A and B are shown apart, each in its own frame.
Chain A
Amino acid sequence: MKTPIVEVRNISKYFGSVIALNGVSMDLYPSEVMCLLGDNGAGKSTLIKILSGVHRPDEGVYLVEGKEVHFNSPRDALDLGIATVYQDLAMIPLMSVTRNFFLGSELTVGRGLLRRFDVKRAQRIVREELGKMGIDIRDPHQPVGTLSGGERQSVAIARAVYFGAKVLILDEPTSALGVKQAGTVLRYVAQARARGIAVILITHNPHHAYPIGDRFTILKRGRTLGTYTKAELSREEMIRMMSGGEELEKLEEELRAFGDQAARGLANAFHEEELSEWA
């Protein structure tokens, strides 16, 4: 049996009296895309923040390649190859593509006081890396704010891959994108998987999750409803579980009942009117 590259066992996280995560377990292997699904407030973002080193779990263990870890900052996670691309925080719009790409991990030449940011080499690498994924940036000096949403996400993913990510956590990478741009991003996710990278994909959109995902973990109110392989879960079932199927059914029933009541009320009113006319 292979060891998972990342594993959490019975992780819990509390914010004051709020239980954000309650005994969640999950594992992840190289070359797979794990889709993390769930409604708002289900604990998806808390879980990925624990995985990426932003939060520390209050209970449970976190293992990377079989060894227990305690991260104090995202830097610690990055050092072990766990990179996170956030939905809105991916890039700094006013900074150039190159500066964004290398922010926090700048290439340097020289030593001591003469240690400096190797801008030329950085620009060449950015051009090459983005070229590999089919993004032709006209000018590496170009502010990221002038790129499209899909290009921006792709640059962020390319950055993580370039810096040796073994685990790539993508937080809603397609939520703000049109169909075509979302396709670009998903294609790049597939490319990353083919290179042996383990991907955790958080998304609301079952139509993005199902085609790319190998396994699916569904969270609800801080607990996991289980992890399923694609074979175990049809698209319809997945959609039902994601959107809190039972609740939707209940709601539907309620609405139907309400509709019936309203219809009855209307009928009664009509009846009375009729009676009064007779009187």
Chain B
Amino acid sequence: MSGAILVWVLLAIVAGERGFLSLRGTANYLQVAAELGILAVAVALLMIGGEFDLSIGSIIGGAGMVIAVLSVQYGWNIWAAIGVSLIVSLVVGALNGLLVVRTKLPSFIITLGSLFIIRGLTIAETRGITGRTQVGGVKHVLGYDSAVKFFASTLKIPDPASSRGLDAAFPISIFWWLLIAGVATYILLRTRPGNWIFGIGGDPHAARNVGVPVDRMKVFLFMATAASAWLVATIQVISSGSADTLRGQYREFYAIIAVVIGGTLLTGGYGSAIGAVFGALTVGMVQQGIIFTGVDSDWFQVILGVMLIIAVLVNNFIRKRAAEAK
């Protein structure tokens, strides 16, 4: 959280004059942060539970394509397509989880495999069915207008800083992000499964010995990250009106970075959903803020990598201090 404030202050000093502080600038980075934050909150739960999911970027591409192909190519109502896409995503998440639990291989390996399998399937199937790798025209399908209300509407506020009287548009994804973060926080801190998540990440054997259904929880957590990828895919497809087989690339890594910046331990057992919210906010501010500073946005990835390493060092230092202070 302090990191997010620090980044905000830095960007406010450097780029405040150029529009970073304006309402439109704020809406701009919040949109990026929201789409990342939806993923990061689910990934935070999974990582606290001691596992990784590298396949969510590919699930975003696949889930989006399922919606677009079913609705545009086969003329389905968009809601039916969205529903089927959710089911497909949940099945993929459950398969990830079951493979991890049954094979006892590191989830890093299993989901690295599914990253390529899902991306490859998405590209091959889409090209096989449509002959292209991008599918547009979602805006003309049945039920699109009602879907916009849930996934792509915006709250428009006139931006006093805009000389041309433009509105700042806050997308509904921000609402989804905060809602999911709220639910995730409640689950983590106030429910039995929340306590189990900390337990299975901290020490799966100890948790199993006191009767926690470790395997079932892990499968659920993989289904949750897959569902978060589906939500982001739906938001993107509805708001852009098209799907691309390459959507979501590297999102799995951005999400992990956001979660780690938010203070969650890579080894599991410790972390928070709120931390992931601020982690996503930090990444979003840097990604969009860098454009306001006038620095070439190619530098974003450099800064992201440096931030990740600094965040881990700082978190380790703070945790060590906290553990020693009795």
Contacts of B205 in A (CB 8 A): 89
**Bitwise interface map of A from 169 to 208 toward B, beta carbon under 8 Å scored 1, else 0:** 0000000000000000000000000000000000000000
For residue B208, CB closer than 8 A to chain A, the reply is yes
CB distance from B192 to the nearest CB of A (A): 4
Contacts of B186 in A (CB 8 A): 116
Contact B211 A74 (CB under 8 A): yes
Contact A106 B199 (CB under 8 A): no
Contacts of A138 in B (CB 8 A): 326
Contacts of A89 in B (CB 8 A): 203, 205-206, 209
Tell me which of B189, B202, B323, B326 contacts A92 (CB under 8 A): B202
Scan residues 89-146 of chain A and give those whose CB is less than 8 A from a CB of chain B: 89-95, 99, 102-106, 108, 115-117, 119, 138, 143, 145-146
Contact A92 B203 (CB under 8 A): yes
Contacts of A93 in B (CB 8 A): 202
Give complex CA distance A74, B190 in Å.
Answer: 25
Give complex CA distance A37, B207 in Å.
Answer: 27
For residue A61, CB closer than 8 A to chain B, the reply is no
Tally of contact residues, A, Cβ under 8 A: 30
Interface of B is mostly: helix
CB distance from A160 to the nearest CB of B (A): 10
Contact A103 B191 (CB under 8 A): no
Contact B192 A106 (CB under 8 A): yes
For residue B155, CB closer than 8 A to chain A, the reply is no
For residue A153, CB closer than 8 A to chain B, the reply is no
For residue B8, CB closer than 8 A to chain A, the reply is no
For residue A75, CB closer than 8 A to chain B, the reply is yes
Contacts of B196 in A (CB 8 A): 103-104
Scan residues 33-86 of chain A and give those whose CB is less than 8 A from a CB of chain B: 52, 54, 73-75, 78, 84, 86
For residue B194, CB closer than 8 A to chain A, the reply is yes
Give complex CA distance A105, B213 in Å.
Answer: 12
Give complex CA distance A143, B265 in Å.
Answer: 15
Scan residues 201-223 of chain B and give those whose CB is less than 8 A from a CB of chain A: 202-203, 205-212
CB distance from A102 to the nearest CB of B (A): 7
Identify the interface centre among B198, B203, B210, B269: most chain A CB within 10 Å of its CB: B210
Contact B202 A94 (CB under 8 A): yes
**With contact pairs A94-B269, A146-B326 given, residues A117 and B191 touching in the complex (Cβ less than 8 Å):** yes
Contacts of B326 in A (CB 8 A): 138, 146
Contact B209 A54 (CB under 8 A): yes
Contact B195 A102 (CB under 8 A): yes
Contact A119 B265 (CB under 8 A): no
Q: Could you show 15 A-B contacts with beta carbons less than 8 Å apart?
A: A74-B211, A84-B209, A86-B209, A89-B206, A92-B206, A92-B207, A99-B199, A103-B195, A103-B196, A103-B210, A104-B212, A105-B210, A115-B192, A138-B326, A146-B326
B contact set with A: CB distance below 8 Å: 186, 189-192, 194-196, 198-199, 202-203, 205-212, 265, 269-270, 323, 326
New contact pairs (14) apart from A73-B211, A116-B190, CB-CB < 8 Å: A54-B209, A74-B208, A74-B209, A78-B211, A84-B209, A92-B202, A94-B202, A94-B270, A95-B198, A99-B199, A103-B199, A103-B206, A115-B192, A117-B195
